[in-house]
Amino acid sequence: MGYPERVRASLGALFGVGVTALISTASAGSLGGEPLLIAPIGASAVLLFALPASPLAQPWAVIVGNLLAAVVGVTVSHLISDRLVAAPVAVAVALGLTTIFRCVHPPAGAIALVAVLGGPKILAMGYSFVFVPVLLNSVVLTLSALLFHLATGHAYPHIPHGPPRPDMSVIGITPEDIDGVLAEYGDALDISREDVDALVQRLIARAQTRGTRR
């Protein structure tokens, strides 16, 4: 990341978190006298403004991932009274659900913890915590990111862009092949199937172009 991009990302985080705090507090009041802003939103802002092309930073991941984690955290906090047990259970279940629904978002793990360990005020909120502040913060931050990236000439949400599809008949790569390779890789990769497909297309197109020049 070059210097201009670092500055742009920092300004984006300033804008996004500031707007989220102002709009959330103005529309739903404060949280115990403090601005209506939960700490994991700061981590979400890092992804949204520094790594906007990551699958972890897309609107579905941010909004649904945080929402699921909040539901899990509140539910676990009601079912398990021992916080030492409830905390890891909440994170584990939230991670499992977000992988199933393809909305993995690292700050969601922190939201699950906040729901369990946030203290009496958070616990007293019950499931209202899911909607305010979690859903409200997540939606406003995502919309702020969309506006900021649009204003600064960056695409968000991320849409893979590739050249016209080259002749794939020679090697016969299919989307299922890409899914299979990603599954066989063994480790989770911070890249979507669509981005892998675009990279493969660019490699094939470059190779074909080089071949025609010989």
Taking alpha carbons only, the member of 205, 194, 214, 196 closest to residue 171 is 205
Element (H, E) at 51: none
Q: Write down the domain spans for the chain.
A: 3-151, 175-213
Rounded Cα distance between 129 and 124, Å, is 9
Residue 40 tokens read as 């994991």
10-42 as b/e: b if 16+ CB within 10 A: eebbebbbebbbebbbeeeeebeeeebbbebbb
Q: Report pLDDT digits (tens) over 124-138.
A: 999 999 999 999 999
Q: Report pLDDT digits (tens) over 155-179.
A: 899 886 555 555 554 566 777 777 7
**Is the entire prediction scored with pTM above 0.85?**
no
Is residue 81 pLDDT above 80, yes or no? yes
Q: Which residue has the higher pLDDT, 198 or 117?
A: 117
pLDDT bracket for residue 15 (50, 70, 90)? very high
Name the 3-class secondary structure at 72: helix
- What letter represents residue 84's amino acid? L
Q: What is the mean pLDDT of the chain?
A: 88
Residue 183 tokens read as 């599954």
